[in-house]
Amino acid sequence: MEFKELNLIQPLLDAVESAGYRTPTPIQTATIPLVLAGRDVLGCAQTGTGKTAAFALPILQRLAGTEGSGRCGAGKIRALIVTPTRELAIQIGDSFDVYGSGLPLKNSVVYGGVRQAAQVEKLKAGVDILVATPGRLNDLIDQGFIKLDDLRIFVLDEADRMLDMGFINDIRRILRHIPGSRQTLFFSATMPPDVEKLAMSILRDPLTVKVDPVTSTVESIRQVLYYVDKVNKSKLLATLISGHDVRSALVFTRTKHGADKVARDLTRANIKAMAIHGNKSQNARQAALTSFMRGEITALVATDIAARGLDISELSHVFNYDIPEDPETYIHRIGRTGRAGLSGDAVSFCCFDEFERLFAVEKLIGYRIPTAESPYPMEVCTYSPEPARKSGQSSGRHPSRGRRPQGGENRRQAPASPNTRKDRRPDTDPGTQKSSAAASPPQPKQPAGGGSSSTEPPQGGAPRRRRRYGSR
């Protein structure tokens, strides 16, 4: 099937062809006719399958045609797309710029982390389509710069990620400002019960489109796994990027600190690299992303804030520097490469502490990831002490989290030291003390209420128990 068979108008067909696309993806083939017909849609497709074009193209056609193409008044918006991250909002805005280049429609993007003055100026000039992150959108609504009374189409993109990031209350606030008579498009890479419940609360008689469940990976992506100690991951990463045909590498780490460290290690290895994560300013993050897209740097190191929505054309390699805690994140990460019919490589590093996460990933995708021999083979395989097992009982070994093997690993099983507090005795020869005590006759008890109340130990006997720890 070709795009012209989807009943798109000529300006959109020209824009799609100029962007280098020839045939629609399955999610686009299924969704575009439904949106053009005015139906609510519940779309479930993994990252990298063309969801943005699936809603952008029909929205542009509806607003340019049946919905009218005249300019809106100040701040009056007819299509609203809400997405969780700034990077994704910017890229969706860029897609509307490309696809709508031949149409008399205006679009704008609003997001937090930057001053709002420039965004407000564009809103005052009038926009037809607004792409926004939840926080900044609610701020501008509260300030009176955005009114949604004329809204006709509402899109909630990456809904599962939105809920994961805690935006549920922001979404509810937005919904209170949206007219009830609207068309709603709900897109999500995954569809857990809480996401489906939210979808059913805002959609009216929706048609469901499910393409490529999240348990599948794109077939054009070559996957490989290296077993390597944590301390050698940076060395292995630098070796692979330098010695292989790596034109562009997107490296994922679990923590912000880890992203900065990996970027520094690569820079010291004479590999141009930059990091993006939540602690970076919006300008710094956008500058790093722009440099990466232009080919000015070889490696972009990111936390999972960039795992979804990044549309980097011809990305050759994705590196999982750390195995993600959520196995579905693995699929979203590697989905950054192998797009638009191109092939790509996904390389994962696994140290001993990450075995359980690796097993969860392989269980989700349904097969073992092929392994390759590492120039830095794994050496650290420590286990915590375990009790003796019955014959035939499974090992049940559990990795000793983050510890290298140390001398005296089973210290609590070693013989007790004579210098420990428990075994201290007064400065008396034990043998002499024992023989002296045996030679002394038993001492008569003091009569009740009479005699001396001395606390001195009896003659020839062992010290009283209360002085047992007193002599050092």
Domain boundary assignment for the chain: 3-211, 221-365
Report, as an integer, the average pLDDT of 105-109: 95
Report, as an integer, the average pLDDT of 51-73: 76
Report, as an integer, the average pLDDT of 352-380: 90
- Are 328 and 190 spatial neighbours (Cβ–Cβ below 8 Å)? yes
d(CA 316, CA 20): 18
Report, as an integer, the average pLDDT of 448-454: 43
What interhelical angle do 256-268 and 233-243 show, nearest 10?
Answer: 50
Residue 27 CB-density burial (10 A; 0-12 exposed, 13-18 middle, 19+ buried)? buried
Helix (H) or strand (E) holding 172, with range, is: helix 168-175
Q: What are phi and psi of 186, to 5 degrees?
A: -120, 115
Q: Does domain 3-211 have CATH number 3.40.50.300?
A: yes
Across 198-207, 277-286, 403-412, which has the greatest mean pLDDT? Answer: 198-207
Report, as an integer, the average pLDDT of 151-170: 88
d(CA 64, CA 194): 35
Choice between 471 and 239, residue whose per-residue pLDDT is larger: 239
276 DSSP β-pair partners: 302
Q: What are phi and psi of 344, to 5 degrees?
A: -155, 170
Report, as an integer, the average pLDDT of 149-165: 88
- Are 211 and 27 spatial neighbours (Cβ–Cβ below 8 Å)? yes
Residue 343: the pLDDT is: 78
* pLDDT higher than threshold 90 for residue 407: no
Topology match between the domains 3-211 and 221-365? yes
Q: Is 334 left (phi over 0), alpha (psi -120 to 50) or beta?
A: alpha
- Are 58 and 96 spatial neighbours (Cβ–Cβ below 8 Å)? no
Tens of pLDDT, residues 338-348: 766 677 899 99
Choice between 468 and 187, residue whose per-residue pLDDT is larger: 187
Instruction: Look up the CATH number of domain 221-365.
Output: 3.40.50.300
Choose among 152, 129, 124: nearest CA to 140.
Answer: 124
* pLDDT higher than threshold 90 for residue 120: yes
* pLDDT higher than threshold 80 for residue 447: no
* pLDDT higher than threshold 60 for residue 252: yes
- Are 37 and 63 spatial neighbours (Cβ–Cβ below 8 Å)? no
Choice between 342 and 315, residue whose per-residue pLDDT is larger: 315
- Are 355 and 321 spatial neighbours (Cβ–Cβ below 8 Å)? no
